[in-house]
Amino acid sequence: MGRASAMVPLTNYLSPLRTDVRYATTTNFTGEVLYKRPALFLRREAAEAIKLVSDSLKKKQLSLLIYDAYRPYSITQKMWEIVPDDRYAANPANGSGHNRGVAVDLTLCNLATGEPLAMPTPYDNFTDTAHHSFTNLPAIVAANRAQLKGVMEHYGFKALETEWWHYALPDPKRYPLLDLSFKQLKKLSRRHVP
């Protein structure tokens, strides 16, 4: 793999690194703990772009709150069994940008307090209200969603129409699907200098 395609921990790129990894708890759409000892990894190309997003937001006293990044392929298979709808879950036949290390689920929060900004729905909400095209929103909520989309797109990410929180680099299939555990990724990352 080339330099841009290496898998890297977001701890090396984001400060502060604020997280709310719901798949490590039962507070997610499956009701099950899907991640044991999770870590947030992305391809270096995506991590470098997220750092640019974060640095840009700091000037506005904002930060990122990360819900999910790399996801092992086996987890995508479990999710599909529960929600077999490709508007909201990746079909394992194609895999996901998360499985390729180029997709991230996130929101905006206050830099000083870590308090998330108001968004159209909670994370992993499978209703039309979570769609970018949904417009029946309070002005501040619409503005927050637009600000997140604007900064992510400015630094090269593409929005998923049905999920206001999901962004991925274009053409994710240029990277292979991965089914490495977080433990395996942590071991690999210790062997390589970022």
Residue/partner pairs of 126-132 with CB below 8 Å, 24 or more apart: 126/29, 126/83, 126/85, 126/87, 126/88, 130/162, 130/163, 130/164, 130/165, 131/161, 131/162, 131/163, 131/164, 132/159, 132/161, 132/162, 132/164
Q: Cα-Cα-Cα-Cα dihedral of 34, 39, 44, 50, to 10°?
A: 90
Task: Return d(Cα 81, Cα 68) in angstroms, integer.
Answer: 19
What does the pLDDT read at residue 182? Answer: 93
In this structure, which topology does domain 3-191 adopt according to CATH? Muramoyl-pentapeptide Carboxypeptidase; domain 2 (3.30.1380)
Residue 2: per-residue pLDDT: 64
pLDDT at 193: 47
User: Which is nearest to 102 in space by CA: 157, 145, 56?
Assistant: 157
Pick from 150, 185, 162: which is nearest to 73 by CA? Answer: 185
Intervals of the chain under pLDDT 50 = 1, 193-194
pLDDT at 171: 93
Residue 78 contacts residue 122 (beta carbons within 8 Å): no
Cα-to-chain-centroid distance, residue 188: 21
pLDDT of residue 191: 61
Please state the domain extents for the chain.
3-191
- Residues 26-67 pLDDT 10s: 999 888 999 988 999 999 999 999 999 999 999 999 999 999
What is the three-class DSSP state of 30? coil
Q: Can you give the pTM of this predicted structure?
A: 0.93
Angle at 76 between CA 72 and CA 79, to 5 degrees: 135
Instruction: Identify the pLDDT of residue 87.
Output: 73
The number of beta carbons lying within 10 Å of the beta carbon of residue 155 is 18
CA distance 98 to 68: 8
Structure tokens at 124: 């992993």
What is the structure's pLDDT at 192?
54
